[in-house]
Homo-oligomer: A and B are copies of this chain.
Amino acid sequence: MERIADNIAKDFNISFHDENLLYEAFTHSSYVNEHRHLALQDNERLEFLGDAVLEVVISDYLFHTYKHWHEGKMTRLRAQIVCEPSLSSFAKECHFDQYIRLGKGEENMGGRQRPALLCDVFESFIGAVYLDQGIDAARAFINQVMITKLKEDAFSHVMDYKTSLQEELQKNGDVAIQYVLLSEEGPAHARKFDVEVRAFGKVLGKGQGQSKKVAEQSAAKNALESLL
Contact = CB atoms under 8 A, between A and B. Distances in A.
A189 to B, nearest CB: 44
B63 A59 contact: no
Contacts of A45: 63, 69-71, 74
B47 A71 contact: yes
Interface string A162-181: 00000000000000000000
A55 B51 CA distance: 10
A56 B55 CA distance: 8
Interface string A29-60: 00000000000000011011101110110111
A135 interface: yes
A53 B70 CA distance: 18
Nearest to A53: B56
A75 B74 CA distance: 24
A55 B53 CA distance: 9
A152 B31 CA distance: 38
A91 B71 CA distance: 21
A60 B69 CA distance: 29
Contacts of A48: 59, 62-63, 71, 74-75
Given A56-B56, A135-B135, 10 more contacts: A44-B71, A45-B71, A48-B71, A48-B74, A49-B63, A52-B55, A52-B58, A52-B59, A52-B60, A53-B56
